[in-house]
């Protein structure tokens, strides 16, 4: 009787492993190079990403953190626009610059 149970367990594990492998293979082809599927898809996902992350990444002069120009707190300062990660950094820069 024990042998039959072992067989069932073996079969079950084999099924799980096979399913995982199939999923991995599917995932590989999905994340693989898009040139194989680009003929059928309307818009490549890279274009969407570019529009979503439009703008530059600049350095916050106060804390040195990199911030997106679209999400940053910007300050026009002597003809140039400075970008800060937070209102706090902006105020700190303004105070130190005017002092």
Provide the Cα torsion 37, 43, 47, 52; round to 10°: -120
Q: Is the Cβ of residue 25 or residue 65 nearer to Zn ion in the bound state?
A: 65
**89 counts as binding Zn ion under rule CB under 5 A:** yes
Q: Is the Cβ of residue 21 or residue 89 nearer to Zn ion in the bound state?
A: 89
In this structure, which long-range contacts are made by residues 29-33, counting pairs with CB atoms below 8 Å and at least 24 apart in sequence? Answer: none
**85 counts as binding Zn ion under rule CB under 5 A:** yes
Window of 9-17, 33-41, 62-70, 90-98 that interacts with Zn ion by CB under 5 A: 62-70
Q: Which residues bind Zn ion (CB under 5 A)?
A: 60, 62-63, 65, 85, 89
């Amino acid at each position: 009787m024990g042998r039959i149970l072992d067989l069932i367990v073996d079969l079950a594990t084999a099924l799980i492993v096979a399913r995982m492998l199939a999923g991995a293979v599917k995932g590989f082809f999905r994340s693989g190079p898009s040139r194989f599927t680009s003929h059928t898809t309307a818009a490549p996902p890279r274009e969407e990403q570019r529009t979503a992350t439009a703008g530059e990444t600049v350095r916050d002069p106060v804390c040195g953190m990199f911030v997106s120009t679209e999400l940053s707190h910007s300050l026009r300062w002597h003809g140039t626009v400075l970008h800060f990660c937070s209102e706090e950094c902006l105020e700190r820069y303004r105070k130190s610059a005017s002092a």
